[in-house]
Amino acid sequence: MNNRSHFKFLVCDIGKKQIITYNPQTKIHQEISTDDFMSLNVPGLFEGMTIVIEDAHLRARGEDSKAQTYTVDELHQIRKIANQRNISILCFPQKVTPKTRKIYSVLEEDGGKLIPKTDRNDTLSIAYYLEKFPHIIDTLKEFYPTTGELHEQKNLHIYEDRNKLTEDSNLGRNRTYGIGKNNNDTDAVSDWIRKYISKLAFTVDNSTREYFKLTLNKKGNALSPGILNYTSETILKQIYNIVNTILTPEGKLRVRSDNQKVPYWKYAKEVYFGMTPYHMSAGVTASNWKYHKRKAGNKNKISMAFEDNGNPKPHTFKSIEDLQTIRKEMIYADTQLRNMWRTVRKMIVEDGLR
C-alpha cells in the first residue's frame, strides 16, 4: 500500500443539505453545499491532497431509501473529478469515530469530559486522531462508488458465516460447552478438545499457552487437572470458541459460504473475531474475544471507558503513552489468538486430527 501519512488532508462530514469540512492545517471548519462538494469545490483542497470521510456516508442513495446524500452516478462523478485532480478519498470507519472523540476529549479538553457528538466535533476529532497516529491513514480503504444494495450483496457471505457461527456458539453455551467431568451434553467441538487439549497445549509456544492459561502440573509434564479433566469453564470456553470457528458442533469443517473452503487467518480474524473497524457487529464469538478474554488479559488495566455522564473513569487513559500501551496489549493478545487459531487449524485441517 502506498504511504499516505505525509499527505495533507481534510476531513468532511456529508449531510443531507450541507457538508462540514475541517482543515487541520488551518484549524478551520467550513460549511459548503452538497453541489459544491460534488464538484469538489472545497476550500483548502488542492491537487494531491486527501479527503477523509466516514465510510457510511460514501454509499449511494437507493430508490427505497433517502438516508444517503448522493446517487451512485453522483458518487461516480465525485470519483472521476478526484482522479482528474489527483485527490484521494478515504473511508474512515464510522464505529471508530466515538473513540476519536474520547481521545480528543482527554488529551485536549480541560477535565477530559467527553465532547458531544456533532458534525464539527466528529470531523475535528477524526483529524486529531489521524495527526496523532499518522500510520492509521495507511489502513483506510479507498473510496469506490457503490449502492447500499451492492454493498450488502458483496458482504452477504460474511453475514451468513457470522450468523451460522453465532448460532453454533449459542448452542455451545447452552450446553455449557460440554464442560464438566461427567457432562454428557457434548458435541464434536468439546469432544475434540477433550481428546486433543494436551497435544494442543504442548504444540503452541510458551507465551500462547500462558496467555490462554493452559497451566501445567508441578512437574511440567502434563496439564493441570482442571484442564485435563475438562472442568475449568473460564479457560476451556475460550478454547471452545476458537475450535468452533474451524470445526462445527456436528463435526464438519467450517467452510466459507462463498467458496466452500476452510478459511485462513485473514478471513477468520475479520469475520469470526471481528478484528476490522468496518463492520459494526461481528457476533458472539467476536464479542467473547474482544470484550471478555482480551480485556481480561490486559495487565495494565488502562481503558477507554467513560462514565455515563461523560467523565473519564479512574482507569481511563490519560496520555498518548497510555494509548500506546493499550494498543500494545491489544496487539499482543491478538497475536496469541492468531498463534492458537493457526495451530488448531493445522491440527484439524492439515493433520486430519478429528
Joined together, the cell numbers standing for residue 48 give: 494531491
* Coil/strand/helix, residue 82: helix
pLDDT at residue 66 in the model: 54
Query: Which of the four pLDDT bands, split at 50, 70 and 90, describes residue 195?
Result: very high
For residues 270-296, average pLDDT:
83
* Coil/strand/helix, residue 11: strand
Query: Which of the four pLDDT bands, split at 50, 70 and 90, describes residue 277?
Result: confident
What is the CATH number that goes with domain 9-152?
A: 3.30.420
110 or 57, greater pLDDT: 57
State the Cα–Cα distance between residues 46 and 336, nearest whole angstrom: 44
Give kind and range of the element (H or E) at residue 202: helix 188-203
Percent of the chain exceeding pLDDT 70 equals: 93
pLDDT tens for residues 313-347? Answer: 999 999 999 999 999 999 999 999 999 999 999 99
Q: Strand (E) positions, the chain?
A: 9-14, 18-23, 28-33, 50-54, 88-92, 141-142
pLDDT value at 348 more than 70 = yes
pLDDT value at 308 more than 80 = yes
pLDDT tens for residues 57-107? Answer: 887 766 455 557 888 899 999 999 999 999 999 999 988 999 999 999 999
pLDDT value at 5 more than 50 = no
For residues 127-136, average pLDDT:
94
- Residues contacting residue 22 through CB under 8 Å, at least 6 positions apart: 10, 11, 12, 28, 29, 120, 123, 124, 127
DSSP tag of 115: P
pLDDT value at 151 more than 80 = no
Query: Which of the four pLDDT bands, split at 50, 70 and 90, describes residue 276?
Result: confident
- For residue 184, give Cα distances in angstroms to 12, 58, 176, 249, 298: 57, 51, 11, 14, 34
Q: 92-113 burial, b for 16+ CB within 10 Å, e for fewer?
A: bbbbebeebbbbbbbbeeeebe
For residues 3-17, average pLDDT:
79
pLDDT at residue 1 in the model: 41
Write down the domain spans for the chain.
9-152, 156-304+330-350
Angle 61-64-67 (CA atoms, 0-180°, nearest 5)? 45
pLDDT value at 3 more than 60 = no
For residues 175-190, average pLDDT:
87
pLDDT at residue 128 in the model: 97
Which amino acid appears at position 67 of this protein? A
| Pair 45, 51: CB distance under 8 Å | yes
pLDDT tens for residues 213-229? Answer: 999 988 888 999 999 98
pLDDT value at 296 more than 80 = no
pLDDT at residue 280 in the model: 60
pLDDT at residue 11 in the model: 97
pLDDT at residue 279 in the model: 62
Q: Is 302 left (phi over 0), alpha (psi -120 to 50) or beta?
A: beta
pLDDT value at 146 more than 80 = no
Q: Which of 122, 124, 136 is nearest to 54 (CA)?
A: 122
State the Cα–Cα distance between residues 90 and 134, nearest whole angstrom: 14
* Coil/strand/helix, residue 53: strand
As a whole number, the mean pLDDT across the chain is 90
183 or 250, greater pLDDT: 250
- Lowest-pLDDT range, 107-111, 149-153, 200-204? 149-153
| Pair 337, 273: CB distance under 8 Å | yes
Q: Is 297 left (phi over 0), alpha (psi -120 to 50) or beta?
A: alpha
